A = this chain, B = another copy of it.
């Protein structure tokens, strides 16, 4: 079963946006055993979209088509797919109703051209869209399948997962299964060195390591006659990796994040938390609050950017600031203890550092960050030296702090 990815959008051809959809779809299709030999991008141009369909179906069974489902005249993939399959577009009252509700909720009148989105290919299978106005569509005509998805990844991804993956899985021979292990606290080359022997002798399952903004990811992929067999094949490789990496493995799964792991540990151990941030400036709190259930344990966060705020909000001592400077292990520890105390929480965590580009010195260069974790009055700190842009330094410090907290929580008796 061969699929071709066809992304439609002049903004892609002008380089205004990066085509992350092609990457996401390719990866997921490989995982469910569908081969992809071509990715194609064309603009919002009737002639070229039509040609792209002709070409794609000359060499593939499925065309996964993103973009061009919007309300404007430029959006034309639905029309082109219908033309290719000789189908009519029919007004769906329920889509229209849903569109109107969406706009009602936003307290805005629906612009007339949005009505275009309520027209749907005759005989198509609807792909519900919970994050936008336009539904997607699957058309299967004599085993030529076109899948129409919207361009914005926040809409496209859940629609692909919810409706398209189950639909396509029916057509796949043999089953691929993947498991992702997520690792923190060890660099890319260090991690690869540690599994060199495995990589060199791999067959089924295979292992693919890759680095991703401050963490390492190992994807183990196996192929079996059914899901059960594929899952079984992964087990020995997984336990070997767990033996080698121990608690550097912080979690598993595609979407698992360090904040989710930490949030679950806090909830499980009934520990409340508050954050005190200087250089990360709210990123640590924002990450933790990504996790929907966090409100049970997350009480309070402070972005104490100025020295005054560190003293007033957290009770950091003036002497400590004067003697050691704001970027010091002492201040990091007082911040963590101070936020826990003033917020009356079990856990307090903190960051203080120099994110740059200015503000560095020989003694305290850009990228120097101290983090601290206080749990029930006991505090530890850690020094980080991070190379990179202001944004990278802040993100990396955020991840390191969450990882340090995770390790402390694991060891808590």
User: Scoring A residues 238 to 263 as 1 if CB is less than 8 Å from chain B, else 0, what string do you get?
Assistant: 00000000000000000000000000
Q: Which of A32-40, A138-146, A404-412 forms part of the interface with chain B?
A: A32-40
Whether A308 lies near B303 (C-beta < 8 A) is no
Contacts known (A18-B20, A111-B190, A303-B282); A37 close to B43, Cβ less than 8 A: yes
A298 within 8 A of B: yes
Whether B16 lies near A208 (C-beta < 8 A) is yes
Whether B282 lies near A286 (C-beta < 8 A) is yes
Question: Which single member of B55, B113, B367 contacts A193 (CB below 8 Å)?
Answer: B113
Whether B22 lies near A19 (C-beta < 8 A) is yes
Distance in angstroms from A390 CB to nearest chain B CB is: 6
A318 within 8 A of B: no
Whether A292 lies near B385 (C-beta < 8 A) is no
Chain B positions within 8 Å of A298 at CB level:
281, 303, 305-306
Chain B positions within 8 Å of A40 at CB level:
38-41
A188 within 8 A of B: yes
Whether B305 lies near A303 (C-beta < 8 A) is no
How many copies the complex holds: the figure is 2
Q: Which of A77-85, A101-109, A327-335 forms part of the interface with chain B?
A: A101-109
Whether A15 lies near B38 (C-beta < 8 A) is no
Distance in angstroms from A340 CB to nearest chain B CB is: 13
A46 within 8 A of B: no
Whether B289 lies near A281 (C-beta < 8 A) is yes
Complex CA–CA separation, A392 to B309 (angstroms): 30
Distance in angstroms from A397 CB to nearest chain B CB is: 12
Complex CA–CA separation, A290 to B390 (angstroms): 8
Chain B positions within 8 Å of A312 at CB level:
300, 342-343
User: Scoring A residues 78 to 105 as 1 if CB is less than 8 Å from chain B, else 0, what string do you get?
Assistant: 0000000000000000000000001001
Distance in angstroms from A282 CB to nearest chain B CB is: 3
Question: Which single member of B111, B152, B154, B387 contacts A131 (CB below 8 Å)?
Answer: B387
A295 within 8 A of B: yes
Whether B190 lies near A389 (C-beta < 8 A) is no
Whether A41 lies near B38 (C-beta < 8 A) is yes
Query: Which chain A residues (359-400) contact chain B, with CB distance < 8 Å?
Result: 359, 365, 367, 385-392, 394
Q: Which of A23-31, A119-127, A162-170, A228-236 forms part of the interface with chain B?
A: A23-31
Residue contacts A-B, CB under 8 angstroms, 7 given: A18-B19, A154-B389, A289-B303, A300-B308, A301-B303, A302-B313, A313-B313
Tell me the A residues contacting B by CB distance below 8 Å: 10-20, 22-30, 36-43, 45, 48, 55, 70-72, 102, 105-108, 111-114, 131-132, 152, 154, 187-190, 192-193, 208, 210-212, 217, 219, 275, 277, 279-290, 292, 294-295, 298-306, 308-309, 312-313, 342-344, 355-359, 365, 367, 385-392, 394
